Structure 1
Amino acid sequence: MSRIPPRWRLWGRRIALGVVGLYAVYLIAGNLFLNTPIGEWTANRKPEKFHIEWGPGVTWWPGRVTVWDVKLGGQAGRTRWAVQADKASGRVAILPLLHKEVRVPDVTASGVTGDVDTVGARRPPPVARPGGWILNFQRIRSDSIRGGRYAGLVLEGDGRAEVGFYKQLRGGALELMPSTAHFDRARLSVGKQELLSEGRIDAHFAIARHTRAQASGIRKLVLTDASLELQGKVAALRTGVDAAGKMSFATVPGQGTANAKIGFARGTITPGSTLRWHMPITGKDVSGHARAGALDVGLDAGRDLHVTARSPAQADNPLSLDADLVVRGTQIPLQDPRSLLPRSSGHVVGRWQFSSLRWLGAFFTDATWLSLDGAGLVDADLRVVDGRVAVGSRVSVPEVEATAHVMGNRIRGRARAEGRLDGGKDGEPLPSLELVMERFNIAADDAPDRPYVDGRDLRLSMQTVKPFRREQLKQADAMQRVREALKARLTFSNAHVPDLRAHNRYLPQQHLRFDGGSGTLSGDLTLDGAGDVGTGSVRIGASNARMHVAGLALRGNIDVDTPLRRADLTGHSFNIDGTRVGLTGISFTEPSGESRSGWWARIQLERARMDWDRPISIDARANVTMKDVGFLLSLFSKQREYPKWVYKMIDSGQAQVGANIRWKGETLVLDRVVASNQRYDLKARLKLRGKSRTGSLYAKWGLLSCAVGVNNGQRDFHLVRAQQWYDSQPDLR
């Protein structure tokens, strides 16, 4: 046996001592680095972007580290994240550090939880610069993941995962290496609402290497491959409806089932993906009756996406759904999810409680003067073609709050509505809507809290006759297009008017007003798309009404039937030819206190024009048949001031009267009044303006004649050359 030379043994001992010394130095320096603030200070140079904390740590070999109570966190953009682990062990490759690469071939963690939140303040991304350090974590694994949280969504269970990622700092490339995650006894919840229990989750995911300039935000999904398998119990849905018709939702743990196998490849759902979701529905309606049902949702991916949702109708459950839609292709439009609609066709049939039905009016009529609101059930049968509701679709609403604004009045009531889509000449759908208000009221737009009409059974039929889209409102002839696009008919009869004085807002109250009584109001009006009346009729009736007419107090029965035909397109001017006014059982009292009763008149207007603006103005020729001329005589003077023979004319039978009527503001003019029968003739002109009263009257009975001039409170009688005096008086203006 050869002997080792002493010099070699000396160098061997020196080398061994040097290695031991270096190892001792590493042990001291490495463990001091881990267990003093030096380590965390070195790692947390930019804590606003990334920070790490740990408790005790130990390293027994260069590149091998074990730490306990690890906490990591950071923020990118608006996303703030944090990860906690009870223990983490890993290996760092030493040589790549010389090339500014932190390569971690393997990390094992235990007791892992994570949190992700979205914050309001966005952290701007770093400007891309060359030379950034590379973080290359090739394998991070844990067999004891307790759960995680994303905003309000919480995942709990027994999990394991294996993840790898590559990131170059200073705005360099990012890659998520093929990774996996698995959870048993998984539980998903939002707040106190449980969504999944006793679940099993298997996920695979990867993101191709890219820079921020190549893909940022949601565009990263275009470079993502993922798959998800999920089974478990899912929550049931518990519904409730309050007295106002507003619907509430809550979940009931663990009464439904879910099975999903979904693949995602670079922005598309992979063929063979399936989803089956069964959710029981329980709850109570407004009356407190228990309701029960179930919702089943399905997804099948082949060349296209086939989506189904069914909740069968039941006698004790007003909520139902039967939807069957096919979405062409499997591409998911990540930037604009609404572009899925033009690819969708099928049908949706169902019944559902909406907290607000405001959308319904815009959907079927787009009429700004009609609004539907309030909570309510909707019974729908919709045909969908290329994302648009197609001809043959219908919507029924048993009860909705409806408001229409017509001619300065607000009509409001609870209504039932039926909407449908009919086909036009070119096949384009033309919406129509039928409304029936079982009870309604009418109030002035400027006094909506003081309705003056209460009625029943108001009907509003609306039909789109020409297609019109909102973008056309920018065109020069938009208003005319709006008027022509829609036609409507509004009808009601014998609505109750509790106090006829409500009509005084439209009357020149100094000389024509209601002083009391009640009556009825009926209407049959056609409207255009702008809500303006085109044609129709309005009828007012009253029994034992009290009126003030040109200084005389009247009481009796009134019936006014006014046909309307709009005379211009921009204002509220109407042709009212053929208007009929019936006065029966009239008693009136002169200012002197003398009274008469049993008087009547039938009035018909010709060449009549009315402006609806408040107060109403009228310019018309009236043909009147009246019991006698006593009322006309009382307009000019007291009975005792006339010659005695004048009032004998009153007993000479009914008279035919013609007159021009002009009524505008506080001015009322009766001009070219001619009354006659076989025994007498009477002519008159009278102008009432404010407190002013001017005019003249001429009466002839056989050989006797009389004229009287009225100038406010002064009366001038002419018994000689009465006709010549009357003819010499100027026309009224």
Structure 2
Amino acid sequence: MELNAVSRSWQRIPVSARAWIRRVAFALLGVYAFYLLAGNVFINTPVGEWTANRKPEKFRIEWGPGYTVWPGRVHVWDVRMKGHAGRATWAVNAARANGRIGILPLLRKTVRVPEVIAVDVTGAVDIGGARRPPLPARPGGWVLQFDRIHSDSIRNGRLGDLVLEGLGSADVGFYKQLRGGALELMPSRAHFESVQLRFGKEALLRDGRIDADFAIARHTREQAPGIAKLLLTDAKLKLDGKAPTLRVEVDPQGRIALANVAGDGRAQIDLGFARGSLTPGSRLRWHTPVTGHDGRGAAFDDALDVALDVDRDMRLVARAPAHAEGRLSLDANLTVRGTQVPLKDPRSLLPRSSGHVVGRWHFASLRWLGNFFDAPWLSLDGAGVVDADVRVVDGRVAGGSRVGVPDVQAVAHVMGNRIAGRAKADGRLDAGPNDEVLPRLDLLMERFDIAADDAPAKPFVQGRNLRLLLESVSGLERQALRQPGAMKQVGQAMRAHLTFANAQVPDLRAYNRYLPNEHLRFDGGAGTLSGDLTLDGAGAIGQGTLGVNARAARMHLAGIALRTDVDIDTKLRRADLKRHTFNIDGTRLALQNVSFTEPGGESRSGWWTRIDLQRARMDWDRPVSIDGRAQIAMKDVGFLLALFSRKKDYPKWMGKLIDSGQAQASGNVRLAGKTLLLNDVHASNQRYDVMARLRLHGKQRDGSLYAKWGVLSCAVAVDDGQRDFHLIKAREWYDAQPRLAP
């Protein structure tokens, strides 16, 4: 009946009108047929991809088979897209996609896609490739407007090494004008169930749920370049899932290995971000179990808890109990004023931060700790555990903070010497005047070696319990040091106190690198070295003492070989830093149980002397040089006479001088390079007087000696091995001889 009604209606239409209707219908059918042919040819031949990929270095799209049966509606399979923007490359794949494109907007150079439905979507983003600088903005670019890109089957995504797997859905829309025009990310959302989140091979989250909302306001590249886009971004993130267990394994040497394993931790995040700030009410909770074995093989079970709460300010709390032999613990409570996120300058977060951090961490390198105390001559290196209690006020570490290192490799370079050993260190920050914070480091080397800087593999001193106390010089003290008459060289803001006692010197010949070997050297023996020194911030000695002690040491002194017990107490006070010279007034040298052989072959034993330098200077550079005035006590004058001649060459009565008791002497001593110079030497007691001047330069020996015993007197001239005795008017002859020049 209905067909008959249509037929009668058609018959009532005039013949001419029916002809026009037929023509229009056939025309539309032809257009539709042409569209079917052209559209499907476009989709299923290289023509389509060639048209879409005009700039493959920036964007490329490929697809498999597809079809279109209605203008603007497209169905394709195996879609693959990739692009390059700045330093980031991205790729998105979909097993199937269908969408609708607006036809009329194409006339306005606008590709408007009201809707795209994608199936089985995966994506990846890599950052760090070669940067492609954008071309200058130009007018007239086409507009891409995708109102809704929807998928209910997102399988996984990757951002660098961060991988997300799960069942996801998303609605995304964006607007972009080409040729550097405006960009907008329309209000979009994403939802994931059964989430597995990992970084590389390390699991971060499992059985999780993620909900995200995000949008970026419309802007041009000039208005918001790079990270500044976040200042136009609004976003919300909700996350809930199981966090992994942190497994800690400590070997007997104290090395720590960390790994994430499946566990019963919990992660809960509810964060809002609005144009550069976290929104009030945002919160984060992360609970991670910590298990493992300590260095003795004992098992432990603990947990790490992190919490972030945002209101008018941001408050971060993190806690982990101390186990694993105390190698891993944390108790941190920090408050950051305001809610702004420092996108362009993360360091600007520090002045807004206050609170405290207490804990222990294992560091692969502790070099940063030595740098913190501004002492370039001291380095702390190697892996180690740090025990810290740090107070922070307005981004600055405050007084009362401390840092402890139970075991670290320490190396100190002091005046050409390298002091190295395993140490424990305790550092703290003291409150100084004018709100200054003054770092202080107390370092103890239980065992240490000392070697020359130019021969670090050949230590010549081995000791125990060396202590180095390093502390800051306050601003007020530095001002005082700059006053007229005060010690100069205060550019460094640190000073140090170095002490050690009875360090072993297995071979005293190691000291010969510092001695003028022609006239003073060790030929063998062992001894000990002690030190008590103050150093400045550059590691240079300011003042202190160095002590050398040895028994039955073999020495070579002024051309005479001797065996002796040695006790040297050197008093140092810096005179000139640039020239490495020291005032050594008060230095004492004691030789006991001395045995030696005189030039004539006669042997002596049981001799002794004590030398006190009243006024003296020493040049530290190798070899050491000394110039000063000395007071000398000696058992007898036998050694002094032996410097000038053999005993049998003297008049026989001079032999009685040696048997006439101990003598008190004084004189000027200069030891530099190949020259030993004695001037104005005067030795005497109640029975005799002896005066001498002597210069030794290499193998050359010259000088003069005068001796008086009662009414008898004698003078001797020495000139490069030649001796001339004067028995008549000996004093007049001696007084006529000039002082020896260096």
**TM-score (ref. length: structure 1):** 0.96
1:466 is matched with 474
2:558 is matched with 550
Map 1:437-476 → 2, pairs under 5 A: 437-467=445-475
1:40 is matched with 49
**CA deviation profile, 1:653-677 (whole Å, cap 9, x unmatched):** 1111111101111110111111111
Contact 2:293 2:324 in 1 (8 A): no
Q: Measure the CA separation in 1 of the matches of 2:643 and 2:14.
A: 153
AA matched with 2:43? L
AA matched with 2:354? S
Map 1:506-521 → 2, pairs under 5 A: 506-521=514-529
Change (3 A) 1:238 1:592: farther
1:52 is matched with 61
1:677 matches 2:696: no
2:722 is matched with 714
Change (3 A) 1:467 1:159: farther
Q: Measure the CA separation in 2 of the matches of 1:640 and 1:191.
A: 91
1:647 is matched with 655
Q: Measure the CA separation in 1 of the matches of 2:525 and 2:299.
A: 50
How far the C-alpha of 1:236 sits from its partner, in A, is 2.2
Match of 1:380 among 381, 384, 388: 388
Change (3 A) 1:383 1:243: same
Q: Measure the CA separation in 1 of the matches of 2:54 and 2:263.
A: 47
AA matched with 2:385? L
AA matched with 2:187? P
How far the C-alpha of 1:702 sits from its partner, in A, is 1.8
Q: Measure the CA separation in 2 of the matches of 1:243 and 1:446.
A: 35
Secondary structure, counterpart of 1:34 in structure 2: helix
How far the C-alpha of 1:719 sits from its partner, in A, is 2.2
Contact 1:466 1:484 in 2 (8 A): no
1:293 is matched with 302
1:475 is matched with none
2:25 is matched with 16
1:95 is matched with 104
Contact 2:295 2:325 in 1 (8 A): no
How far the C-alpha of 1:344 sits from its partner, in A, is 0.3
Q: Measure the CA separation in 1 of the matches of 2:50 and 2:731.
A: 119
Unaligned runs of 5+ in 1: 469-478
Match of 1:610 among 614, 618, 623: 618
1:471 is matched with none
Secondary structure, counterpart of 1:313 in structure 2: strand
Secondary structure, counterpart of 1:652 in structure 2: coil
Q: Measure the CA separation in 2 of the matches of 1:587 and 1:316.
A: 58
Map 1:185-224 → 2, pairs under 5 A: 185-224=194-233
2:145 is matched with 136
Change (3 A) 1:262 1:34: same
Match of 2:506 among 498, 510, 529: 498
1:122 matches 2:131: yes
1:589 matches 2:597: yes
Change (3 A) 1:481 1:391: farther
How far the C-alpha of 1:452 sits from its partner, in A, is 0.8
How far the C-alpha of 1:27 sits from its partner, in A, is 1.0
1:312 is matched with 321
Q: Measure the CA separation in 1 of the matches of 2:340 and 2:594.
A: 80
Deviates more, 1:288-297 or 1:383-392: 288-297
Match of 1:408 among 411, 416, 420: 416
How far the C-alpha of 1:467 sits from its partner, in A, is 4.7
1:473 is matched with none
AA matched with 1:676? S
How far the C-alpha of 1:23 sits from its partner, in A, is 1.4
Q: Measure the CA separation in 2 of the matches of 1:32 and 1:343.
A: 63
Q: Measure the CA separation in 1 of the matches of 2:488 and 2:237.
A: 56
Unaligned runs of 5+ in 2: 1-7, 477-486
AA matched with 2:126? D
Secondary structure, counterpart of 1:131 in structure 2: coil
1:68 matches 2:83: no
Q: Measure the CA separation in 2 of the matches of 1:480 and 1:207.
A: 61
Moved over 6 A (4+): none
Q: Measure the CA separation in 2 of the matches of 1:315 and 1:230.
A: 31
AA matched with 1:445? D
1:233 matches 2:242: yes
Secondary structure, counterpart of 1:111 in structure 2: strand
**CA deviation profile, 1:5-55 (whole Å, cap 9, x unmatched):** 333333333322222222111111111111111111111111111111111
Match of 1:423 among 414, 424, 431: 431
Secondary structure, counterpart of 2:153 in structure 1: strand
Contact 1:291 1:316 in 2 (8 A): no
Secondary structure, counterpart of 1:172 in structure 2: coil
Q: Measure the CA separation in 2 of the matches of 1:480 and 1:65.
A: 85
How far the C-alpha of 1:683 sits from its partner, in A, is 1.2
Q: Measure the CA separation in 1 of the matches of 2:326 and 2:562.
A: 60
How far the C-alpha of 1:245 sits from its partner, in A, is 5.1
**CA deviation profile, 1:401-458 (whole Å, cap 9, x unmatched):** 1111222211111111111111112122111111111111111111111111111111
Secondary structure, counterpart of 1:40 in structure 2: helix
1:273 matches 2:290: no
**TM-score (ref. length: structure 2):** 0.95
Contact 2:374 2:494 in 1 (8 A): no
Q: Measure the CA separation in 2 of the matches of 1:385 and 1:517.
A: 57
Deviates more, 1:247-256 or 1:392-401: 247-256
Contact 2:73 2:100 in 1 (8 A): yes
1:732 matches 2:740: yes
Secondary structure, counterpart of 1:312 in structure 2: strand
Secondary structure, counterpart of 2:24 in structure 1: helix
Q: Measure the CA separation in 2 of the matches of 1:228 and 1:652.
A: 101
Match of 2:643 among 635, 647, 652: 635
Secondary structure, counterpart of 1:645 in structure 2: helix
Change (3 A) 1:508 1:678: same
Q: Measure the CA separation in 2 of the matches of 1:381 and 1:3.
A: 100
2:588 is matched with 580
How far the C-alpha of 1:243 sits from its partner, in A, is 6.9
Q: Measure the CA separation in 2 of the matches of 1:315 and 1:232.
A: 27
Contact 1:551 1:591 in 2 (8 A): no
2:377 is matched with 369
2:479 is matched with none
